[in-house]
Amino acid sequence: MKKFLFALLALTCYSNFAAAGEVKVNWGKLDDFTEINPGHETKEHFRERLTKEFEDVFAALAKKLPDGYQLTVNISDIDLAGDIRPGASFSVSQIRIMREIYWPRMNFSYELKNGQQEVVAQAKEELRDMDYLHRIRIPSGRTSFEYEEKMLNDWFKKQVLAGVFPTNDVKAVTANK
């Protein structure tokens, strides 16, 4: 029985490790981005956190791709949801104000390669979520940029549904045909 449980555990770990794509995120010049201003952090710390959290979001999406697939994302602009009011920099703690007119926006290009390093999809994207305050969202805990994460998750789902991106689930269905 112990051998069976060990084999089952090893198989589970191997299948979770092997059945995932990878991502590489490249960043444009952050100083040229439309709006990635910190609220109450230093500029350097905020940008470091922002890049890490967005890379984590793309990594979570890439895990849904089949084994061997590589997604390369080149982020050229971000306009975060909400706004930090001009002149509020004199206060010790600034806050980001969320209103309908301050929707999240993001521009990037991507290239998706399969296991044989063939380009299977590429495009430039200009994502906008003008209805961001009225959508149902369940924060993942992965990022503090929940509106932008929701926008990216919705984009990824649309790519899968349109047949642009394969996923582990789609791969399994097509393998049985």
Please list the pLDDT of the chain residue by residue as tens digits (177 residues).
554 444 444 444 444 444 589 999 999 999 999 998 887 788 899 999 999 999 999 999 999 999 999 999 999 999 999 888 765 455 556 777 888 888 999 999 999 999 999 999 999 999 999 998 887 777 777 788 999 999 999 999 999 999 999 987 644 334 333
Alpha helices (runs of H) in the chain, residue ranges in sequence order: 2-18, 43-62, 146-161, 168-175
Residue 49 CA to residue 27 CA, distance in Å, equals 13
Q: Which two tokens stand for residue 39?
A: 């609220």
Which pLDDT score, from 0 to 100, does residue 21 have? 92
pTM, two decimals, is 0.79
Q: Is the distance from CB of 105 to CB of 78 less than 8 angstroms?
A: yes
Q: Judging by DSSP bridges, how do beta strands 105-113 and 70-79 pair with one another?
A: antiparallel
Alpha helices in 29-167 (DSSP H): 43-62, 146-161
Q: Which residues contact 135 (CB under 8 A, 6 or more apart)?
A: 129, 150
* Rounded Cα gap, residues 78 and 35, in angstroms: 6
Q: What is the pLDDT of residue 19?
A: 56
Predicted local confidence at residue 136, as pLDDT? 79
Length of the chain counted residue by residue: 177
Rounded Cα gap, residues 21 and 113, in angstroms = 10
